[in-house]
Chain A
């Protein structure tokens, strides 16, 4: 009898503890709606993430859609749903994409505070920063991020007698040793560096500066550092280190590298698996090295983050379940984290360090994913995403002016930098930040 009493007492204590815990974290029930974007591998990744969540929460009725981004389908559908108040509870978003700084996303800080979690402890450094809007609201929560490392054709380097680049190398350095890779004519023309589409986003950092302040309060597109970036970009193309826009449109940069016509290729995390497999198939002896550094004293790595996350909409009918989805994908559900790792570095430190970083690529060991984890905080959020794309297009014009239209960097700065400044100052958030 005494034993039974002790067991009952222990069970009662356990129950009371459980009820105490659940007082902070409400029990989940009802329906949760989720919208994600993506096609092919991305769509499979989103599906796997959501399925893992469904498995962990049989008490919830989860309804989800994975919508393609091609032809602005996602943009139109998401914009229509947000403006009409018919958006799902959880919607995919990106810190460099539309949606931030609007009234449509819930501030997630109360959820974070309620859970009492130190985000620096659970998330990979550099993962959460972009999700804070200009007035400090936390408008989204990370799913994954991707940065770039440099793939090199080791055979081309060996044949040219050039040492493989090491951490800290700059594009200025490359102007010396990169000449060894330039040669040939027409279809046999060879280059030092492929013109990956990321170059237009990454090159503003090459001169050692930054296109605008991290808090978006100031635009620096008229700075000497940006002019230095333009000078470097011009040299890269006019002296044949890199193909120009027209040349790179005919042969995709990855194929140029995989055909043995190019010594280096900026390799994004999202394309690494298929890219390396294709290289192997084509007999390209690939090595991986860090991205170059910008020139100058305060220069950072020339590397860009493409990040994706989730937001809870202000019209969400089940915000608690929505928050459970966000945090579990980010750090609290290992299976969701592992499913995320198929398309990029997962936000959660635990999964990123103990699972993602240990994924091995044949011939490269864990270099690639180790690098991603280590270099994320050194990289910059894509500077020309979302609303900022209009300034990015003017930058693209500056680049074309110096690489295809015979303009000098000084002339291009004189013609376009003020346009960039005016465009930047036309953004509502830039005006607000400056006033603060």
Chain B
């Protein structure tokens, strides 16, 4: 009798479980799993804009990896962006998060100031930065000219265009700052009090307490930052259209152009899968190192 009641309870529990996750599961299967499988199928075809295409095996992947020089350029640019943006993003957001965790005047104001750029519409911000960086009319070059310096054509020079995009994106790291701040505020104050009693300097406290105990947050920001940075699209699309001379052509922009401007759906899908693999490999690499440098509270 007891057994029956228990199995009835379990069954109800199971039904409830599936009923509650069903909407999400449905969305996940229809909006994520199915498109992924379909894009993999497309990547093995020469499907065009209107859906026509036949099976061509791995020809798209071979073309992308061997003959198409622009794919290589797009991956090179994207890696370069990730290498510049992600570490700077982590350092800056940690530093700002730490500053905002201090007991200073106008704390609420400063927290808002750093968070507002994150809330501002991306396209508007991008256009604004385009004006700031403009070689002829831009505020940055105007300011430099006051000191007798002739600024470069920031977005028109292939050596500076991608750096401008890094700077632009560093301006809106408010969300990462907020996550860092939450992580730093989670550290028990007693650790700092003990350190102070022991005579540790502020720098020593940061290095020996704040940084190690913030590593789970840093790890989270690192993984999310890498994934986000690999998908860079808006700024090069709006500001430079991938130029000059493909110097801001990113993989996402390359995929978009091939799919929606050139009508090469199959080829675009294959490059999208290459991007997926690149992100996955890098995230797995980061994950494999986490035991060595991420310290959780209970470890």
Query: A-side interface residues toward B, CB under 8 Å?
Result: 72, 75-76, 79, 82-83, 98-99, 102-104, 186-187, 189, 243-247, 249-251, 386-387, 389-390, 393, 396-397, 400-401, 404-405, 419
User: Nearest Cβ distance between residue A330 and chain B, in whole angstroms?
Assistant: 24
Contact at A404–B244, with CB atoms within 8 Å? Answer: yes
Check B50 for interface membership: any CB of A closer than 8 A: yes
With A72-B260, A79-B51, A98-B263 already in contact, the answer to whether A245 and B138 are too (CB < 8 A) is no
User: Nearest Cβ distance between residue A133 and chain B, in whole angstroms?
Assistant: 13
Contact of B49 among A75, A187, A246, A250 (CB under 8 A): A75
User: Within 8 Å CB of B136, what residues of A?
Assistant: 186-187, 189, 243, 246-247, 250
Q: Which of B154, B260, B264 has the most CB of A within 10 A?
A: B260
Ranked nearest first, the 8 interchain pairs of A and B with the lowest CB-CB distance are: A246-B156, A83-B51, A250-B134, A390-B262, A404-B244, A400-B244, A400-B245, A98-B49
Interface size grouping (class) on chain B: 20 to 34
Contact of A246 among B52, B69, B135, B264 (CB under 8 A): B135
Q: Which of A83, A387, A404 has the most CB of B within 10 A?
A: A404
12 contacts between A and B (CB under 8 A): A75-B49, A76-B260, A79-B49, A186-B136, A189-B136, A246-B134, A246-B244, A247-B135, A247-B156, A250-B137, A387-B49, A404-B245
B153 (CB) vs chain A CBs: closest residue: A246
Contact of A419 among B49, B69, B157, B257 (CB under 8 A): B69
Contact at A389–B262, with CB atoms within 8 Å? Answer: yes
Check B173 for interface membership: any CB of A closer than 8 A: no
Contact at B155–A246, with CB atoms within 8 Å? Answer: yes
With A396-B243, A397-B246 already in contact, the answer to whether A249 and B51 are too (CB < 8 A) is no
User: Within 8 Å CB of B243, what residues of A?
Assistant: 245, 396-397, 400, 404
User: Within 8 Å CB of B130, what residues of A?
Assistant: 249-250
Check B82 for interface membership: any CB of A closer than 8 A: no
User: Within 8 Å CB of A247, what residues of B?
Assistant: 134-136, 156
With A249-B239, A404-B158 already in contact, the answer to whether A82 and B245 are too (CB < 8 A) is no
With A83-B50, A186-B137, A250-B130 already in contact, the answer to whether A387 and B156 are too (CB < 8 A) is no
CA distance A186 to B135 in the complex (A): 9
CA distance A387 to B239 in the complex (A): 23
CA distance A29 to B246 in the complex (A): 54
Residues of B46-96 contacting chain A, CB below 8 A: 48-52, 69
Contact at A404–B137, with CB atoms within 8 Å? Answer: no
Check B131 for interface membership: any CB of A closer than 8 A: yes
User: Within 8 Å CB of B245, what residues of A?
Assistant: 397, 400-401, 404-405
Contact of B156 among A99, A103, A244, A401 (CB under 8 A): A244
User: Nearest Cβ distance between residue A97 and chain B, in whole angstroms?
Assistant: 10
CA distance A247 to B136 in the complex (A): 6
Contact at B52–A103, with CB atoms within 8 Å? Answer: yes
User: Within 8 Å CB of B257, what residues of A?
Assistant: 389-390, 393
CA distance A291 to B154 in the complex (A): 33
User: Nearest Cβ distance between residue A63 and chain B, in whole angstroms?
Assistant: 23
Residues of B94-142 contacting chain A, CB below 8 A: 130-131, 134-138, 142
Contact at B263–A387, with CB atoms within 8 Å? Answer: yes
User: Within 8 Å CB of B38, what residues of A?
Assistant: none
User: Within 8 Å CB of B137, what residues of A?
Assistant: 186-187, 250-251
CA distance A159 to B168 in the complex (A): 43
User: Within 8 Å CB of B158, what residues of A?
Assistant: 404-405
User: Nearest Cβ distance between residue B234 and chain A, in whole angstroms?
Assistant: 12
CA distance A397 to B131 in the complex (A): 23
CA distance A419 to B246 in the complex (A): 14
CA distance A102 to B156 in the complex (A): 39
Check B261 for interface membership: any CB of A closer than 8 A: yes
Contact at A102–B153, with CB atoms within 8 Å? Answer: no
User: Within 8 Å CB of A400, what residues of B?
Assistant: 243-245
CA distance A244 to B134 in the complex (A): 12
User: Within 8 Å CB of A244, what residues of B?
Assistant: 153, 156
With A397-B245, A400-B244, A404-B156 already in contact, the answer to whether A104 and B50 are too (CB < 8 A) is yes
User: Nearest Cβ distance between residue A81 and chain B, in whole angstroms?
Assistant: 10
A185 (CB) vs chain B CBs: closest residue: B136
CA distance A401 to B156 in the complex (A): 11
Residues of B1-56 contacting chain A, CB below 8 A: 48-52
User: Within 8 Å CB of A103, what residues of B?
Assistant: 52
User: Within 8 Å CB of A187, what residues of B?
Assistant: 136-137
User: Nearest Cβ distance between residue A354 and chain B, in whole angstroms?
Assistant: 38
User: Nearest Cβ distance between residue A202 and chain B, in whole angstroms?
Assistant: 18
User: Nearest Cβ distance between residue A229 and chain B, in whole angstroms?
Assistant: 18
User: Within 8 Å CB of A419, what residues of B?
Assistant: 69
User: Within 8 Å CB of B48, what residues of A?
Assistant: 102, 387
CA distance A102 to B48 in the complex (A): 10
CA distance A266 to B64 in the complex (A): 38
With A387-B263, A405-B158, A419-B69 already in contact, the answer to whether A98 and B50 are too (CB < 8 A) is yes
With A103-B52, A104-B50, A400-B243 already in contact, the answer to whether A249 and B134 are too (CB < 8 A) is yes
CA distance A416 to B257 in the complex (A): 19
CA distance A397 to B248 in the complex (A): 12
User: Nearest Cβ distance between residue B254 and chain A, in whole angstroms?
Assistant: 10
Contact at A82–B50, with CB atoms within 8 Å? Answer: yes
CA distance A396 to B70 in the complex (A): 14
User: Within 8 Å CB of A186, what residues of B?
Assistant: 136-137, 142, 145
CA distance A377 to B56 in the complex (A): 41
A103 (CB) vs chain B CBs: closest residue: B52
Q: Which of A187, A389, A405 has the most CB of B within 10 A?
A: A405
Known: A72-B260, A390-B261. 12 other contacts (CB 8 A): A82-B50, A98-B263, A104-B50, A186-B136, A187-B137, A243-B136, A245-B243, A249-B155, A390-B258, A390-B262, A397-B245, A400-B243
User: Within 8 Å CB of A251, what residues of B?
Assistant: 137
Residues of B224-260 contacting chain A, CB below 8 A: 239, 243-246, 257-258, 260
B142 (CB) vs chain A CBs: closest residue: A186
Contact at A389–B261, with CB atoms within 8 Å? Answer: yes
CA distance A401 to B136 in the complex (A): 20
CA distance A187 to B138 in the complex (A): 9
User: Within 8 Å CB of B246, what residues of A?
Assistant: 397
User: Nearest Cβ distance between residue A358 and chain B, in whole angstroms?
Assistant: 38
User: Within 8 Å CB of A82, what residues of B?
Assistant: 50-51
User: Within 8 Å CB of A98, what residues of B?
Assistant: 49-50, 263
